């Protein structure tokens, strides 16, 4: 009995010590930078950010169905706005934390040229794309192909990843020869780290403004507010920039 | 009621399950037979390998299959050298994956059926100078028929219910790899709950009907013996 109460007490103490945790839902393209930022955040503020990654569409579905997230880092601006309108997020808190860049990438060092002509020339069997219905980077990829007039000819070759991370996995394993993913997934020291890629010019797709928002469950939670502020701070911005995102 | 793409997904799922069941009938029967008859040391390890998909997360199977069947994997290089291309994102890739995934659902009921026949009928057949092949077709098959039905139905139904492996190697291509379970997932992700409901109800009704049919026609255990 004594043991049990000691155990319960220590569990309680553990729970209070961890009270300033924040549950964060993160769009898959921001996985890399957010893992770095969360370490800095914990170091600088003492708060702990627990991260869950997924496509923005899935995270939205989870949040509207009661998922315990307190902050959302979306891959678009529509989803946070919609969540505010529907009462799942706190009005006035959405802000653009990063502007995403799209890249056409292949693990093969020779396949993708610097102007993306490979889309017109062909010579590949599969082009991977995140599901355009739920992932903004997938939608942007579709937009690029439509603008270049190759959407119809490439459509039969498209394979869809469930989110941008799985799309990257399809390409990096070579199962799909090339595909549209986020620049942040392949950037290393300011350039495309491996394989070959084409950083798609911004005029071929609508800017991917990625908004963060405090969700209703994170309202008045110090750690949630602290994270929101931390994302606007110099250290976080430096990390975000180093992953190839543009800043607002 | 159901949209064209839903019907396409259902038809694809049916084809996938039918082809997988046929292939596993051919592959699973000899495996089950060996497992039922052998007393060798490898019976244990083989049985364990066959049962692996029961406990492995589909993501493990999907991950290995994606690497193995991709252009840099051993299977991928084999299929490419045979002029077949690579298997991920194709119907036949799903067939291969499903055959691994549903293997225990074919082998285990068959093994049980073969074991319950016992040695006696085989010995009698042998004294009547029936060849092993003849024995198999005229003695074993009729006696093991309920086992074959159970195995076939379970394999078919389990393949219909496949999701994780398909998600990992399918690439969600309409009419090729977008099976019903993935289509439902897509509907849910896109917040098309009404569409998800319709297709989900079809799947629920199908699964229940299959299991009901099996449990209703299952013969009562014989007395004695």
Distance from CA of B90 to the nearest CA of A (A): 10
User: A66 and A89 share a domain?
Assistant: yes
Question: Percent of chain B scored above 90 by pLDDT?
Answer: 65
The whole-number pLDDT of residue A2 equals: 56
User: A88 and A57 share a domain?
Assistant: yes
Distance from CA of A175 to the nearest CA of B (A): 5
The whole-number pLDDT of residue B159 equals: 96
Instruction: Give which of A58, A65, A175 to mutate to test B binding, by max B Cβ within 10 Å.
Output: A175
Distance from CA of A57 to the nearest CA of B (A): 6
Question: Residue A198 CA to chain centroid, in angstroms?
Answer: 20
User: A18 and A43 share a domain?
Assistant: yes
B-chain residues near A57 (CB < 8 A) = 189-191
| Backbone torsions φ then ψ of B222, nearest 5 degrees | -70, 150
Q: Facing residues of B188 across strands?
A: none
ipTM of the complex: 0.76
Q: How large is the average pLDDT for residues B143-169?
A: 93
The reply to whether residue A131 touches residue B86, judged by beta carbons under 8 angstroms, is no
Per-residue pLDDT at B104 exceeds 50: yes
Q: Which residue has the higher pLDDT, A10 or A3?
A: A3
User: A187 and A108 share a domain?
Assistant: yes
Nearest to B88, CA basis, from B103, B107, B71, B111: B71
Q: How large is the average pLDDT for residues A90-104?
A: 96
Confidence band for A17, pLDDT divided at 50, 70 and 90: very low
The whole-number pLDDT of residue B224 equals: 46
Domains annotated for chain B, with CATH where assigned, are 4-217 (1.10.3720.10)
**Around Cβ B147, how many Cβ atoms within 10 Å?**
22
pLDDT, one tens digit per residue, over B110-132 is 999 999 998 888 888 888 888 88
Q: Could you give the CA distance from residue A243 to residue A186 in angstroms, rounded to a whole number?
A: 9
Question: Percent of chain A scored above 70 by pLDDT?
Answer: 92
Question: Percent of chain A scored above 90 by pLDDT?
Answer: 81
User: A49 and A94 share a domain?
Assistant: yes
B-chain residues near A160 (CB < 8 A) = 171-173
Q: Could you give the CA distance from residue A245 to residue B19 in angstroms, rounded to a whole number?
A: 47
Q: Are B177 and A156 in contact (CB under 8 A)?
A: no
CATH code for the domain in which residue A138 is found: 3.40.190.10
Q: Are B21 and B156 in contact (CB under 8 A)?
A: yes
Give Dmax over CA atoms of chain A in angstroms. 75
At A105, list the tokens.
Answer: 């990438």
User: A181 and A225 share a domain?
Assistant: no
Instruction: Give which of A62, A160, A165 to mutate to test B binding, by max B Cβ within 10 Å.
Output: A160
User: A41 and A72 share a domain?
Assistant: yes
User: A110 and A88 share a domain?
Assistant: no
The reply to whether residue A57 touches residue B72, judged by beta carbons under 8 angstroms, is no
Task: Determine the Cα angle at B138 with ends B136 and B142, to 5°.
Answer: 90
User: A17 and A138 share a domain?
Assistant: no
Buried (b) or exposed (e) across A24-46, using 16+ Cβ within 10 A? bbbbbbbbbbbebbbeebeeebe
The reply to whether residue B171 touches residue A128, judged by beta carbons under 8 angstroms, is yes
Q: Is A173 a member of any domain? A: yes
Q: Could you give the CA distance from residue A111 to residue A97 in angstroms, rounded to a whole number?
A: 33
Pick from A76-85, A212-221, B33-42, B214-223: least confident: B214-223
Per-residue pLDDT at B165 exceeds 60: yes
Instruction: Give which of B171, B173, B184 to mutate to test A binding, by max A Cβ within 10 Å.
Output: B171
Note down the domain range covering A112.
Answer: 102-199
Q: Is A126 a member of any domain? A: yes
Q: Is A226 a member of any domain? A: yes
Nearest to A22, CA basis, from A84, A88, A80, A69: A69
Q: Residue B175: closest CA among chain A residues belongs to which residue?
A: A156
Instruction: Quote the number of domains for chain A.
Output: 2
User: A152 and A217 share a domain?
Assistant: no
Three-state SS at A18: coil
Nearest by CB to B171, from A134, A159, A174: name it. Answer: A159
pLDDT, one tens digit per residue, over A192-212 is 989 999 999 999 999 999 999
Q: A113-117, B71-75, B105-109: which has the highest mean pLDDT? A: B105-109
The reply to whether residue A159 touches residue B86, judged by beta carbons under 8 angstroms, is no
Q: How large is the average pLDDT for residues B29-37?
A: 94
Q: Is A135 a member of any domain? A: yes
| Backbone torsions φ then ψ of A156, nearest 5 degrees | -65, -15
Per-residue pLDDT at A144 exceeds 60: yes
pLDDT, one tens digit per residue, over A163-190 is 899 999 999 999 999 999 999 999 988 8
Quote the mean pLDDT of chain B. Answer: 90
- Three-state SS for chain B is CCCHHHHHHHHHHHHHHHHHHHHHHHHHHHHHHHHHHCCCCCHHHHHHHHHHHHHCCHHHHHHHHHHHHCCCCHHHHHHHHCCCCCCCCCHHHHHHHHHHHHHHHHHHHHHHHHHHHCCHHHHHHHHCCCCHHHHHHHHHHHHCHHHHHHHHHHHHHHHHCCCHHHHHHHCCCCCCCCCHHHHHHHHHHCCCHHHHHHHHHHHHHHHHHHHHHHHHHCCCCCCCC
The reply to whether residue B189 touches residue A61, judged by beta carbons under 8 angstroms, is yes
Q: Is A60 a member of any domain? A: yes
The whole-number pLDDT of residue A7 equals: 55
Q: Are A187 and A243 in contact (CB under 8 A)?
A: yes
Q: Is A247 a member of any domain? A: no
The reply to whether residue A175 touches residue B71, judged by beta carbons under 8 angstroms, is yes
User: A112 and A40 share a domain?
Assistant: no
The reply to whether residue B171 touches residue A161, judged by beta carbons under 8 angstroms, is yes
Nearest by CB to B189, from A134, A173, A175: name it. Answer: A134
Q: Which residue has the higher pLDDT, A134 or B36?
A: B36
The whole-number pLDDT of residue B223 equals: 52
Nearest by CB to A175, from B88, B172, B189: name it. Answer: B88
Q: Which helix (H) or strand (E) holds A2?
A: helix A2-17
Q: Which residue has the higher pLDDT, A85 or A9?
A: A85
For tokens 């009005």, the residue is: A91
Q: Could you give the CA distance from residue A119 to residue A75 in angstroms, rounded to a whole number?
A: 25
User: A133 and A113 share a domain?
Assistant: yes
| Backbone torsions φ then ψ of B10, nearest 5 degrees | -65, -45
Q: Is A182 a member of any domain? A: yes
Instruction: Give which of A163, A173, A176 to mutate to test B binding, by max B Cβ within 10 Å.
Output: A173
Q: Is A248 a member of any domain? A: no
For tokens 């929101």, the residue is: A228
The reply to whether residue A158 touches residue B189, judged by beta carbons under 8 angstroms, is no
The whole-number pLDDT of residue A10 equals: 54
Per-residue pLDDT at A13 exceeds 60: no
């Amino acid at each position: 009995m004594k043991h049990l109460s000691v155990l319960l007490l220590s569990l309680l103490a553990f729970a209070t010590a961890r009270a300033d945790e924040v549950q964060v839902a993160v769009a898959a393209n921001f996985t890399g930078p957010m893992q770095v930022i969360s370490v800095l955040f914990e170091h600088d503020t003492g708060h702990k950010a627990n991260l869950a990654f997924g496509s923005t569409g899935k995270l939205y579905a989870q949040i509207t169905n009661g998922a315990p997230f307190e902050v959302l880092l979306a891959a678009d601006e529509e989803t946070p706005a919609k969540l505010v309108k529907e009462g799942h997020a706190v009005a006035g808190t959405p802000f653009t934390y990063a502007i995403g860049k799209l890249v056409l990438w292949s693990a093969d060092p020779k396949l993708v040229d610097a102007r993306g002509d490979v889309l017109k020339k062909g010579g590949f069997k599969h082009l991977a794309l995140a599901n355009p219905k739920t992932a903004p980077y997938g939608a942007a990829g579709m937009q690029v192909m439509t603008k270049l007039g190759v959407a119809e000819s490439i459509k039969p070759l498209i394979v869809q990843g469930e989110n941008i991370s799985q799309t990257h996995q399809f390409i990096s394993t070579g199962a799909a020869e090339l595909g549209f993913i986020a620049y942040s997934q392949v950037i290393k020291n300011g350039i495309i780290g491996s394989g070959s890629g084409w950083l798609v010019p911004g005029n071929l797709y609508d800017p991917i403004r990625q908004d963060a928002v405090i969700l209703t469950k994170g309202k008045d939670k110090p750690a949630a507010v602290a994270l929101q502020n931390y994302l606007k701070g110099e250290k976080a911005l430096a990390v975000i920039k180093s992953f190839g995102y543009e800043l607002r | 009621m159901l949209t064209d793409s839903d019907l396409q997904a259902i038809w694809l799922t049916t084809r996938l399950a039918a082809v997988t069941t046929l292939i596993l009938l051919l592959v699973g029967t000899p495996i089950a037979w060996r497992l039922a008859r052998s007393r060798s040391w490898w019976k244990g390890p083989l049985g364990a390998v066959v049962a692996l998909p029961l406990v492995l997360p589909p993501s493990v199977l999907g991950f290995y299959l994606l690497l193995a069947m991709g252009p840099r994997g051993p299977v991928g290089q084999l299929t490419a050298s045979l002029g077949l291309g690579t298997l991920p994102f194709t119907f036949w890739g799903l067939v291969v994956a499903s055959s691994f995934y549903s293997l225990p659902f074919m082998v285990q009921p068959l093994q049980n059926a073969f074991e319950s026949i016992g040695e006696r009928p085989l010995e009698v057949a042998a004294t009547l100078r029936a060849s092993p092949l003849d024995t198999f077709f005229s003695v074993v098959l009729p006696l093991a028929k309920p086992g074959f039905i159970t195995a076939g139905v379970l394999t078919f139904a389990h393949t219909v219910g496949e999701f994780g492996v398909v998600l990992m190697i399918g690439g969600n291509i309409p009419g090729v790899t977008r099976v019903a379970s993935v289509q439902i997932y897509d509907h849910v992700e896109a917040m098309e709950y009404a569409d998800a409901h319709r297709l989900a109800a079809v799947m629920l009704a199908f699964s229940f009907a299959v299991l009901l049919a099996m449990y209703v026609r299952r013969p009562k255990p014989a007395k004695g013996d």
